[in-house]
Amino acid sequence: MKNIKLILLLCIALPLSSFKTDEPAKLNFEKGELSSFLEKSKKENKILFIDAYATWCGPCKKMDKTTMTDPELVAHFNNNFVNLKADIESTYGKKVQQEYNVRYLPTLLFISPDGKVLSKGVGYQNKQQLMSLAKEAMAKLN
């Protein structure tokens, strides 16, 4: 009897486990101290991308749902940049805000491994606008 129940359970559970949910692609954002991300940027010889935001920021939320989930953009950013998401109301986010004079949200910064701003976008950016900022930054670094 136990074997029959086990077989029935497997017949039901295995097909259900093979269904894949279509979750949107996401950027590999990390959070933490600016200094450690600059070190990581140097070590990996990659540009540091900073998304300066606040939890109450409407355009920031819209970008998270639209621009930051575009599969092409996600792949490009995850492969070519160190990605930092900095809440300007947090301790580490305030350092980003002060260091790079963030006054409006969202502010999108592309920082060289030595800490200099290569390109900057302010306000909601669609995929094309953000990719353009990224290309501008990469061109300045090369």
Express each pLDDT in 80-95 by its tens digit: 999 999 999 999 999 9
How sure is the predictor about 65, in pLDDT bands with cuts at 50, 70 and 90?
A: very high
For residue 86, the number of C-alpha atoms closer than 13 Å in the C-beta half-sphere is 31
The yes-or-no verdict on residue 2 having pLDDT over 80 is no
CATH 3.10.20.30 assigned to 25-141: no
Distance, first Cα to last Cα, the chain: 69
